[in-house]
Chains A and B, each alone.
Chain A
Amino acid sequence: MADSHTASQYGLAHHFESMEQQREAGTLGMWAFLITEIMFFGGLFLAYLLYRSMYPNDFAAASSHLNWPLGFVNTIVLICSSLTMALAVYYSQIGKKRLLLLFLAITVLLGLTFLVIKAFEYYDKYTDHLIPGFLFDWEGPGNPQRVQMFYWIYFAMTGIHALHMIIGIGIMLVLIYMASRNRFTPEYHSPVEISGLYWHFVDIVWIFLFPLLYLIGAHEAH
């Protein structure tokens, strides 16, 4: 800590010139990570698009067996959690610790709500023998093998999305701990801002998953 400017500025790492440069580097680093995430989920979306274009009717039949009202509620829950996350970032920017803690906590609760609803959905699929594998059993319209392909993609995509939610909730809990220890100031709150980027990204993945998985069969059956 020989440099005078590092000693005087809380939260500024010694290899950065200024808080602004540090903030910019952090944001860019997070975006670089999110781009790898876009590529990762992009491959899964591509697999979905390919198989759906090959077997549109089987995919619609399979999709009509998903519980779209639950998917709809979960979409609302996630959008609400994105709002509370954005507000948490806002309160970290203006240095309101209690409101920052409150909105981080609400974000965690909404994330948990999403996971609980998802767990009920998974359980329904289990009792209906729709988990891909040798217990898979499809009596409805369409080719069972192709319907099973839909459910492979459904479980892979929603499962990896749920894993991202679990990691996100863990990050939120760390932020709550840090905030309660007065680690953030209006000048230094990059962890909140950057974790917010991650949370919103996970929300965006669901924004695409909901219509693509749940709604393609919504005007059929039922």
Chain B
Amino acid sequence: MSFLELRMVEKRFGPIAVLGGLDLTVEEHQVVCLIGPSGCGKSTLLRCVNGLEPIQSGEIVLAGDRVSGPGVDVNKLRREVGIVFQSFNLFPHMSVLDNITLAPVKVLGRSRADAVEAAMALLERIGLPEKAREFPDRLSGGQQQRVAIVRALAMQPRLMLLDEITSALDPELVAEVLNIVRDLARRGMTMLLATHEMGFAREVASKICFLYDGRVHEEGPPDQLIGNPRRERTRAFLKRIIEAGRL
């Protein structure tokens, strides 16, 4: 059994089916990239895995445990599954350090001293220890997003969901964020990420899934899916990406 399995997942917003019977598997230590046109359900899929959106039918299984449907302890699920958003969503009224230590202290019950020590070690890793006392608004977008990643990592999740984490960044700030993701991939973190950075996806992904019409339309190893897509829709999508100069 795979580490994360989505089986026939259906997600509707009113009459609109965003995910229509989607199947997807992620193995442990894999990096799986979701690509596809805007509105194809990449973000929704990630939010469903994290329990931020309920699903209408199908099931989501994480490490052998069903994590969708009624009776699931979403707070426990979210301790194991971290998510990073496109718009950072740091807490503006807290310092960087408080942003990172809030959940470990309040949710995991760590002592503040331990949480601070762990947070400083993480900030060290991403090269921002001197920003610990700053407030988010004083940071650049790239720095904010790096802090947001660290905030999720501080919960020591077993799975990280990254929702177009570089889409809101100025081009010159994208690399610093992607470097952290590369580092995480090297350390064996299991990740499921939605992205428009095709070059990056090709480099770090174990598997790329092209989402279309609420399902995984085509999936495969990066070189095969990007270099030699089998299906028409995938080819058309990648052609537009290449025309936009993004690959």
Our verdict on whether A and B bind, yes or no, reads no
